[in-house]
C-alpha cells in the first residue's frame, strides 16, 4: 500500500484542534493552574476551550468522569459553566480542589511563606517514622526537610493547607534520588553520580528539598494569583469516587473527558511520593487500565468492560441527546464497542495531530475526538 501524503493526512484533520509548537508553545499549554503540579496523561486546555462553546453555554453544567489533572473543570469555570469531576485518585482530587478553589490571596501568601520559613528554621519533623520507601528514595537531608514542611503545613487551615500539600508533593517529586532525565518513570533510586542525558554532563543525585519547596511556593502563589483574575463563581464539585457507580450531586448537560488508556500509566504509582507523605487514601486496586495490569487480552477486556460501566453510569444521569466529547488515541480500536454498549451514538469523529511532546518522550501521533450523544 502506498504511503499517504501529508496533504492527504491533513485533509482529514480538524485544524482548529491541531497546533504547531510555534502556534501553541508549552507556556501556553501549561498556563496558570494547569501546571500547578506535574501530571502524565493530561490533555491540553485549548481543546476544552474549543469544545465548550461548540456544545455548551455558560448556563450549563459539564461533567468529567475521569477528572485527572482537572483540565475540564478549570476551563469550564473560566467559561462560566458549573462543573463536576470524579476521580478514583485522592491526589487528583486534592489537585482539583486546589486548582479550582477561591482564596483570600493575601492570607494565602502569608500562610505559605510562613510554613516555608517555619520548616526552614525548625528541626521538628513530626510524629511517626518515615516509611522504607521514603528512606530509599530520599537522602537524609532531603527527607528531613520534607517532613519538617509537612509538620509546618499541618498548622494551616483549609484551603491553604491543601495548597501547601500540593507544594509538598511537587517538591517531593523533584527531590527524589533519581536521574534528572527520568522524573516520570524512575525504577530504582540513583545513589551515585551518573551521565545525565538532560544536561549532557556528569550529575549527582539530589540531596535537598528546601530549594524546591522555596521555588514551588513562589510559583504556586504566582499561578493562583494569575488564575484568580479569570476565575468565575461557577459551582465546582470534586468527587473522590468511582465513575462506574458514582451518583452525581448535580445534573450535567454533557461530558468533556480524556479517559485513561489500558496498561500505560499507574496513576497512583506515578505519584507514590504524595501518598507516602500525605497519607492519602490509596485506591489503586480500583484504577481502570493501570500499567500494573498490563496489556494482555484479559487486561484489555477488563478495561473495555470497566469503561462501558463508567460511560453507561454517566449516560443514565445525562439528558437524552447530551453531548459526550471523548479525547482518545484509540490505537486498539476499542471505542466502537465501548460507545455502542454504553448507549452513546457517534455524531462525529475528529482527528487531530499531536506533535508537541518534548524531552525523551518526544514524538508525534494522531488522536481522535469522538463527538457522541446519549441515546437515553
Residues 79 and 154 in one domain: no
Residues 214 and 301 in one domain: no
CATH of the domain at 333: 3.40.50.150
Residues 212 and 301 in one domain: no
Structural domain includes residue 98: no
- Which ranges of 262-353 does DSSP label H, i.e. alpha helix? 272-278, 297-316, 335-342
How many Cα atoms sit within 13 Å of 372 on the Cβ side?
A: 32
Structural domain includes residue 100: no
Residue 2: per-residue pLDDT: 45
Residues 156 and 268 in one domain: no
C-alpha cell at 87: 476521580
Residues 68 and 109 in one domain: no
Residue 21: per-residue pLDDT: 64
Residues 251 and 316 in one domain: yes
Residue 5: per-residue pLDDT: 46
Neighbours of 5 (CB within 10 A): 9
Instruction: For cell 501529508, name the residue.
Output: 6
Residue 301: per-residue pLDDT: 97
Residues 208 and 270 in one domain: no
Q: Look up the domain containing 123 and give its range.
A: 105-228
Residues 43 and 142 in one domain: no
Residue 15: per-residue pLDDT: 56
Q: What are the DSSP calls for 317-340, one per residue?
A: TS-TT-EEEEEE--TT--HHHHHH
Residue 181: per-residue pLDDT: 82
Residues 188 and 276 in one domain: no
Positions in the chain short of pLDDT 70: 1-16, 18-22, 24, 123-128, 355-365, 376
**End-of-domain residue from the set 199, 228, 257:** 228
Total-model pTM = 0.91
Structural domain includes residue 22: yes
State the Cα–Cα distance between residues 314 and 255, nearest whole angstrom: 9
* Upstream peptide bond of 44 is cis (omega within 30 degrees of 0): no
Residues 369 and 263 in one domain: yes
Residues 256 and 224 in one domain: no
Structural domain includes residue 172: yes
Residue 187: per-residue pLDDT: 87
Residues 199 and 277 in one domain: no
Residue 365: per-residue pLDDT: 66
Q: What domain count does the chain have?
A: 2
Amino acid at each position: 500500500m502506498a504511503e499517504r501524503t501529508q496533504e492527504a493526512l491533513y485533509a482529514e484533520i480538524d485544524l482548529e484542534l491541531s497546533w504547531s509548537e510555534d502556534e501553541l508553545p508549552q507556556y501556553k499549554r501549561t498556563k496558570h493552574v494547569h501546571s500547578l503540579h506535574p501530571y502524565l496523561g493530561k490533555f491540553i486546555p485549548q481543546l476544552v476551550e474549543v469544545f465548550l462553546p461548540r456544545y455548551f453555554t455558560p448556563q450549563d453544567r459539564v461533567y468529567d468522569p475521569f477528572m485527572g489533572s482537572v483540565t475540564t473543570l478549570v476551563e469550564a469555570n473560566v467559561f462560566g459553566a458549573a462543573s463536576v469531576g470524579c476521580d478514583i485518585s485522592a491526589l487528583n482530587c486534592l489537585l482539583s480542589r486546589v486548582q479550582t478553589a477561591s482564596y483570600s490571596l493575601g492570607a494565602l501568601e502569608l500562610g505559605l511563606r510562613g510554613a516555608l520559613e517555619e520548616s526552614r528554621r525548625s528541626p521538628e519533623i513530626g510524629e511517626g517514622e518515615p516509611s522504607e520507601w521514603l528512606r530509599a528514595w530520599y537522602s537524609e537531608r532531603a527527607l528531613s526537610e520534607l517532613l519538617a514542611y509537612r509538620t509546618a503545613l499541618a498548622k494551616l487551615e483549609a484551603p491553604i493547607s491543601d495548597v501547601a500539600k500540593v507544594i509538598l508533593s511537587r517538591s517531593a517529586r523533584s527531590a527524589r534520588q533519581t536521574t534528572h532525565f527520568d522524573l516520570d518513570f524512575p525504577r530504582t533510586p540513583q545513589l551515585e553520580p551518573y551521565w545525565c542525558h538532560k544536561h549532557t554532563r556528569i550529575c549527582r543525585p539530589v540531596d535537598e528539598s528546601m530549594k524546591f519547596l522555596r521555588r514551588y511556593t513562589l510559583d504556586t502563589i504566582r499561578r493562583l494569583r494569575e488564575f484568580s483574575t479569570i476565575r468565575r463563581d461557577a459551582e465546582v464539585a470534586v468527587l473522590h469516587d468511582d465513575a462506574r457507580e458514582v451518583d452525581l450531586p448535580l445534573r450535567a448537560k454533557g461530558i468533556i473527558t480524556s479517559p485513561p488508556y489500558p496498561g500505560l500509566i499507574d496513576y497512583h504509582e506515578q505519584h507514590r511520593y504524595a501518598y507516602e507523605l500525605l497519607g492519602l487514601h490509596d485506591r489503586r486496586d480500583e484504577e481502570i487500565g493501570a500499567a500494573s495490569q498490563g496489556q494482555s487480552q484479559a487486561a484489555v477486556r477488563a478495561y473495555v468492560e470497566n469503561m462501558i460501566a463508567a460511560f453507561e453510569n454517566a449516560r443514565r444521569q445525562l439528558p437524552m441527546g447530551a453531548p459526550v466529547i471523548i479525547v482518545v488515541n484509540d490505537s486498539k480500536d476499542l471505542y466502537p464497542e465501548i460507545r455502542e454498549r454504553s448507549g452513546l451514538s457517534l455524531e462525529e469523529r475528529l482527528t487531530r495531530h499531536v506533535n508537541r511532546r518534548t524531552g525523551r518522550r518526544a514524538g508525534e501521533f494522531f488522536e481522535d475526538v469522538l463527538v457522541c450523544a446519549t441515546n437515553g
